[in-house]
Amino acid sequence: MSGAGERQPPPAVPSLRTAVLLVLAALGAAAALLLVSTWTGDPSPGSPTSSPTPATTPPGRAAGAVTCSAPPPTPATVPHLASAPAPAIAAGARWRATLTTTCGVIRLELDGAAAPATVASFVTLARSGYWSDSVCHRLTTRQAATGFLQCGDPTGRSLGDPGYGLPLENAPPGGHYVRGMVGMARGDDVRGTAGEFLMVHRDFTVTAGAPVYSVFGRVVEGQEIIDHIAAQGGEDTRPDAPPFTSISVLTVSVVRD
């Protein structure tokens, strides 16, 4: 034990190496704290900083983008032709058709090389005003074997007839129809209707032995309108019926590409 007057030894001074290690440790702790406070990685589910993946809408299916106005009265008279238009009218060319409807504009591309008789008929009927104010009277939905919106009957009762029939043209292999195709309706007769056309809203394959349809074009704009009508379903929830949401063709214009 030291006496009262004995000098105390000076405090120990850390070595240079120890001092350097202490400084590095302090800097490391500060960097870790900064990293935690600014981290923007994937937080736990439900964290307020998480960024949810934005919902995507399939092409042509924009929710809430389609509104429809009231349909016009059924036309009092319907044009009739003495005979089928000459296939040469199609000129083996591509045509653009614009359907102005009560639910918006639908644009089609018509293939006059693959289906000359059908395209010639469509062009002629469009120019004659055959489809003015005509209701789309049939929708086949999920429970049906097919999936299309059928238009082109001015009477609204599938009784319209421009005065001639059409041969089968450009039927797809295996009877497989793809969303966006445009074809001609037909029943059990070999020759299809010349007035009623269909626009496919979902892929389907015709059952064995059932009629197949001529394909003469495709939808290039306005598929969301067809999808909207299909999503509402058929009248009285029937899979093959007038669409629950009415849609009418007001005018059809055509121009050669």
More confident residue, 92 or 43: 92
Residue 219 lies inside a defined structural domain of this protein: yes
Average pLDDT (83-88) is 96
**Average pLDDT for residues 6-22, to the nearest whole number?**
48
Q: What is the pLDDT of residues 108-123, one digit of tens each?
A: 999 999 999 999 999 9
| Calpha distance 157→101 (Å, rounded) | 18
The rounded distance, in Å, linking the Cα atoms of 98 and 117 is: 19
Predicted pLDDT at 232: 96
Domain that holds residue 211: 93-256
pLDDT at 195: 93
43 token code pair: 């937080």
Question: In the prediction, which pLDDT does 45 show?
Answer: 34
Q: Across all residues in the chain, what is the average pLDDT?
A: 81
Q: What is the pLDDT of residue 189?
A: 63
251, 112, 149, 239 alpha-carbon torsion, rounded to 10°: 160
Is 228 among the domain residues? yes
Beta bridge partners of 151: 197
pLDDT of residue 186: 86
Q: Is the pLDDT of residue 38 over 70?
A: no
In a domain, 119, yes or no: yes
pLDDT in tens, 190-248: 566 899 999 999 999 999 888 899 999 999 999 999 999 999 999 999 999 999 999 99
How many domains does the chain divide into? 1
Note whether residue 245 is domain-resident: yes
Q: What is the mean pLDDT of residues 117-140?
A: 96
Share of the chain above pLDDT 70, in %: 73
The CATH number for 112's domain is 2.40.100.10
Q: Is residue 102 part of a domain?
A: yes
Report the alpha-carbon angle 13-15-19, nearest 5: 100
Closest CA to 148 of 174, 179, 194: 179
Which residue's entry shows tokens 């509104």?
Answer: 67
For residue 58, being part of any structural domain is answered with: no
In a domain, 24, yes or no: no
Residue 127, by phi and psi: left (phi above 0), alpha (psi -120 to 50) or beta? alpha
Higher pLDDT among residues 244 and 44, named by residue: 244
pTM: 0.74
Residue 81 lies in a domain: no
